[in-house]
A and B are shown apart, each in its own frame.
Chain A
């Protein structure tokens, strides 16, 4: 069952949607953990020791075991703590959940982020792909009643949960419209249900601070002009 909080630690950064995924999963499973805030602009020796290869958050430490990469961590959490399972049992359904999580990451997240951090033609190109990809996701959102996981929040809901909270912030900061509720009613409704879930809504970064952070960060990145940013 739930381990004591000394045994599970999460290294994170307050505004990272990847880190929140891990926290949401642990909360859904009722697993206690210790959260350690990391300054990603001034990486600690702890982070570099725990994740020398990618040097990123989130990092999960369970007993002495270290797991990195949010999607990898989600599957690890699901396999260790069997209550409130995140992934379906059926191999085909699992493959579908993994497929859509990857799709959302590459075609919605990455494109929206690039749209935020660029201007002119680059921004337009990124926006176009983001919106086209949301059109595809809308088709999947129309098929569900409550969550992608069914009656309960599952892997795909957690993977795409940033859409309901980070995306509107990026839209505001970047003066762009991506998740138009009139164009994407099913996705918007799902996003609202997800963000309002009691275990999620109390585990979100403060919106005002997010606006300040992303405004600053997007300006920094767009001034460097480094081409397509891979997340």
Chain B
């Protein structure tokens, strides 16, 4: 029986992008269904009644929610190709630790950089750069966070890279200047088709943020 894989997602979501990258790495065919989060459809509400959020992966009718949980699920189901987590338990624990760090730490200050002004924005910018520097330190001289292979931590973080242009524009800073090794890693990841085909154009994201600000009445 052929697998039926559906992804409920939003084009601009760095969380949804993680799932797109993972599915692409595994070569899994799926149906992408763009969601309107201001007018949530019955399928989303049925498949994620608890959080009513994207991404949701629906595999043969069964929903899986929360992007990093979905990515691990994908890795476990389609385990015969492109392993995303290392096979060694200690390396796996390290990968989970760092993906959790990205998941908890990056989004909140990033969002504040474009959604706030003045002191709050400055604080957020400082915090954001600090976090990026910690991640850059963890990357070290390795080509990927996973070492020689692109993996779980890379997937969890690279999807923020298309949002860097938004953060830099609003925060008036250069991530390249602050974290050159990280930007080299971003470029390396973008050479992978799974990444370049899954992430939207950064200029489109900037336009989208201007649009969001207009409708939410943020100055």
Binding site for B on A (CB under 8 A): 53-54, 62, 65, 67-69, 71-73, 75-76, 79-80, 91-92, 94-95, 98-99, 102-103, 136, 230
Residue among B66, B90, B96, B97 making CB contact with A99, cutoff 8 Å: B66
Residue among A69, A73, A99 making CB contact with B69, cutoff 8 Å: A99
| Contact A76–B90 (Cβ < 8 Å) | yes
Chain B residues, Cβ within 8 Å of A62: 90
- CB<8 Å pairs between A and B, sample of 11: A53-B101, A67-B90, A72-B96, A75-B92, A94-B72, A95-B64, A95-B70, A98-B72, A99-B65, A99-B69, A102-B66
Chain B residues, Cβ within 8 Å of A76: 89-90, 92-93
| Contact A136–B92 (Cβ < 8 Å) | no
| Contact A136–B50 (Cβ < 8 Å) | yes
| Given A72-B100, A98-B72, CB of A92 within 8 Å of CB of B93 | no
Binding site for A on B (CB under 8 A): 50, 59, 62, 64-66, 69-70, 72-73, 76-77, 89-90, 92-94, 96-97, 100-101, 104, 134
Shortest Cβ gap from B133 to chain A (Å): 12
Chain B residues, Cβ within 8 Å of A54: 101
| Given A72-B100, A91-B77, A98-B72, CB of A80 within 8 Å of CB of B64 | no
**A-B interface contact total, Cβ < 8 Å:** 58
Chain A residues, Cβ within 8 Å of B90: 62, 65, 67, 76
Shortest Cβ gap from B62 to chain A (Å): 6
Chain B residues, Cβ within 8 Å of A80: 89
Taking A53-B101, A71-B100 as known contacts, 4 extra A-B pairs with beta carbons closer than 8 A to each other, sorted by chain A number, are A69-B97, A80-B89, A99-B64, A136-B50
Secondary structure of the B side of the interface?
Answer: helix
Chain A residues, Cβ within 8 Å of B65: 99
Nearest first, the 6 closest Cβ-Cβ pairs linking A and B are: A91-B76, A79-B89, A76-B93, A95-B73, A72-B96, A67-B93
Shortest Cβ gap from B61 to chain A (Å): 11
| Given A69-B100, A102-B69, CB of A92 within 8 Å of CB of B89 | no
Shortest Cβ gap from A79 to chain B (Å): 4
| Given A76-B90, A98-B72, CB of A69 within 8 Å of CB of B64 | no
Of all chain B residues, which has the CB nearest A51?
Answer: B97
| Contact B93–A73 (Cβ < 8 Å) | yes
Chain A residues, Cβ within 8 Å of B62: 92
| Contact A67–B76 (Cβ < 8 Å) | no
CA distance A92 to B3 in the complex (A): 14
CA distance A227 to B68 in the complex (A): 27
| Contact B97–A68 (Cβ < 8 Å) | yes
Chain A residues, Cβ within 8 Å of B92: 75-76, 79
Chain A residues, Cβ within 8 Å of B104: 230
CA distance A39 to B96 in the complex (A): 26
CA distance A13 to B123 in the complex (A): 31
Of all chain A residues, which has the CB nearest B138?
Answer: A53
CA distance A76 to B89 in the complex (A): 6
Chain B residues, Cβ within 8 Å of A68: 97
| Contact A103–B97 (Cβ < 8 Å) | no
| Contact A92–B73 (Cβ < 8 Å) | yes
CA distance A227 to B12 in the complex (A): 28
Of all chain A residues, which has the CB nearest B137?
Answer: A53
Of all chain A residues, which has the CB nearest B49?
Answer: A136
CA distance A71 to B93 in the complex (A): 10
